[in-house]
Copies of this chain bind each other. A is one copy, B any other.
Amino acid sequence: MGAHESPNCPVARRLKEARLGAGLSQRRLGIAAGIDPGTASTRINRYERGAHIPDYSTLTAIAHVLNVPVAWFYADRDDLASWILAFDSSLSPRN
């Protein structure tokens, strides 16, 4: 196993989906998540292409910017992803 590609990890496609929904560039999302401006574009790009997987603290920062729970990135089915968002939106805005 000498590969360095992530098999079927949903993080890549969820990240792209959420970033585009927020109207951010790869670079601007990375900077907003606290990543060094010089590497923000490269790192977010690698995550979206599925080449690398972000560690937990990085993903937590990204999740905060995009207003989703970290678990949402790991939802392997679209219906589960929606289910998680439904939970999320029922506790941020008070009524």
What residues of chain A have their CB less than 8 Å away from a CB belonging to chain B? 6-9, 11, 53, 55-57, 60, 69-77, 79-80, 83-84, 87-88, 91, 95
Contact = CB atoms under 8 A, between A and B. Distances in A.
Interface centre among A69, A71, A80, A91 (most CB of B within 10 A): A71
A56 B6 contact: yes
B69 A76 contact: yes
Contacts of A75: 69, 71
A3 to B, nearest CB: 11
A87 B95 contact: no
Nearest to A81: B71
A94 to B, nearest CB: 11
